[in-house]
A and B are shown apart, each in its own frame.
Chain A
């Protein structure tokens, strides 16, 4: 069955970088986009960006442009999200999710368990 599994919790200092992985199981990896969504404590969902695993093209939310990089490794069916110049406001759960699509739309049909990234001096 379809499953996405993320790497474990991270604790980082301000100014550092974090790289979270998302390994896909149970479907054709290159056939579906993978998205990254974050959720600060007690807050709503915030879309960060996505990658097309087939060609590697990416699209990022303006808020994260220049600070986030999403990559993929088709040999291991894994997507990575790299967030740089971390600040305390980046403390959040980070989720990857598979994107399914229809006519002029995408939705997120399978989600991973989430990774807590804590940023503190």
Chain B
């Protein structure tokens, strides 16, 4: 099965830039999607197809994907960005959704 790895936690100071990684073998050959989940809420899609943003998501959220690492970058971090973030890929061999383990973003 396809395994996708995220760091358990990332910390960042307000107004700085946070980068959350998502690693898998040759992940650059697939499309990666990112979700934000705040406590007690359902996940929200923040980036799809590596770097596209749904309407209503601030431009501070951006994504990239190359080689064995995809990344979600949040610039000018705000206190309200504190949440769990999950990457997701589509396994074309099995037609299954695969999630990373999630990263807890802490705003210092």
Contacts and interface: CB of A to CB of B under 8 A. Distances in A.
Nearest to A101: B90
B35 A105 contact: no
B43 A95 contact: yes
A89 interface: no
B98 to A, nearest CB: 7
A47 B42 contact: no
B6 to A, nearest CB: 9
Contact of B31 (A45, A59, A102, A112): A102
B108 to A, nearest CB: 22
B27 to A, nearest CB: 12
Interface residues of A, number: 25
Given A109-B48, A109-B54, A113-B42, A104 B102 contact: no
A108 interface: yes
Contacts of B95: 59
Interface string B82-108: 001010111010111111111000000
Given A47-B96, A47-B98, A61-B96, A105 B43 contact: no
Contact of A104 (B48, B90, B101): B90
A10 interface: no
A114 B42 contact: yes
B96 A59 contact: yes
A107 B49 contact: yes
Interface of A: 35, 37, 44-47, 50, 59, 61-62, 95, 97, 100, 102-109, 111-114
